[in-house]
Amino acid sequence: MSMAKSDSRRAETPPPPPEPLAVPVPDSHTHLDIVGGDPAADIEAARKVGIDRLVQVGVDLDSSRWAAELAAAQPAVLAAVALHPNEAPRLADLDSELRAIEDLAGQSRVRGIGETGLDYFRTGEDGRAAQEHSFRAHIAIAKRFGKALVIHDRDAHADVLRVLDEEGSPDTVVLHCFSGDRAFATECVRRGYVLSFAGTVTFKNAANLRDAALVTPPDQMMVETDAPYLTPMPYRGRPNAPYLVPLTVRSLAETTGRDLDELCAAISTTTERVFGGWAPGK
């Protein structure tokens, strides 16, 4: 077998389950539709290691509908719905799709509007006006329905804050897969925003994210996979799924010097404050 084939097969092999957490925490942002396979099996695998609740996040109209349907069927799942910023410039009728997202936003198990925001890495100057229009519309939807705004921010920190200032932030704002440094984290914390850390915080070249975690209070911190992307160390490059959240939580506890169980309890409390309870009727 060639080395290339060996590496490819290794990349496709799911990592082993980590040691379970004693205090459960939610995965605040995942994409089980992209993970593929059986969502019920993914949910059960996560539960076995202490990840007992999930937020399934939409990135376009189809995946947002899928998220809402999964949340309606699975007590351990809540949904967030939106058009991803990289989708906005591609849509022939952006406003029509935004109205469809608004129709989903009123469902009781839909608790977040996102992921929306700005992405200057994959979208060039010609698509930024559509991104910003879409972002402003999602902010309005979040405020109208009293739902958390879940922001995708890539290489656009200053403009994300500018648009939020111009529109007026919803009561709850989440910086999903936080990607800034200590200074940006400090500004977000000052504004009352919640920072959600993904497996990237475990990467060797991510000292800026660990610095950001140091200035993030536990009551403004969440954790996520963004699965199937951003698998935490030591399995970077292999498939990610919610059952790997314990690796990221343990890294955050080590980075911040906080007791693991206390950090898990705080993250769980923060996530329920952001999205509400998972039990039916909550």
Asked whether residue 82 carries a pLDDT value surpassing 60, the answer given is yes
Alpha-carbon gap, residue 282 to 276, rounded angstroms: 7
How many CB atoms within 10 Å of residue 242? 27
Asked whether residue 280 carries a pLDDT value surpassing 90, the answer given is no
Q: Assign 65 to helix, strand or coil.
A: helix
Asked whether residue 5 carries a pLDDT value surpassing 50, the answer given is no
Q: What is the pLDDT of residues 90-106, one digit of tens each?
A: 999 999 999 999 999 99
Binding residue numbers for a divalent metal cation: 29, 31, 115, 152, 176, 226
Binding residue numbers: 29, 31, 115, 152, 176, 226
Mean pLDDT of 9-15: 72
Mean pLDDT of 218-230: 97
Domains of the chain with bracketed CATH: 34-275 (3.20.20.140)
Q: pTM of the full predicted structure?
A: 0.94
pLDDT at 273: 98
Q: What does the DSSP 8-state code read for residue 281?
A: T
Q: What does the DSSP 8-state code read for residue 236?
A: T
pLDDT at 53: 98
Q: Assign 13 a pLDDT band (cuts: 50, 70, 90).
A: confident
Q: Assign 17 to helix, strand or coil.
A: coil
Alpha-carbon gap, residue 129 to 109, rounded angstroms: 31
Mean pLDDT of 27-54: 97
Tokens of 96: 């029509």
Q: Which of 205, 117, 208, 210 is nearest to 169 (CA)?
A: 117
Q: Cite the DSSP H helix spans in 92-218.
A: 94-105, 128-145, 157-167, 182-190, 207-214
Sign of CA dihedral 35, 40, 41, 43: positive
* C-alpha separations of 104 from 97, 138, 142 in Å: 11, 12, 12
CB 202 within 8 Å of CB 233: yes
What's the first-to-final CA gap in the chain, in angstroms? 54
* C-alpha separations of 173 from 76, 97, 100, 138, 281 in Å: 22, 22, 22, 12, 23
Q: Which of 110, 107, 132 is nearest to 58 (CA)?
A: 110
Return the percentage of the chain with pLDDT > 70, whole number.
95
Residues facing 77 on adjacent strands: 54
Mean pLDDT of 70-75: 97
CB 193 within 8 Å of CB 173: yes
pLDDT at 40: 97
- Residue 204 has φ and ψ, to the nearest 5°, of -60, -30
Asked whether residue 50 carries a pLDDT value surpassing 90, the answer given is yes
- Which of 23-27, 227-231, 277-281 shows the lowest mean pLDDT across its residues? 277-281
pLDDT at 125: 84
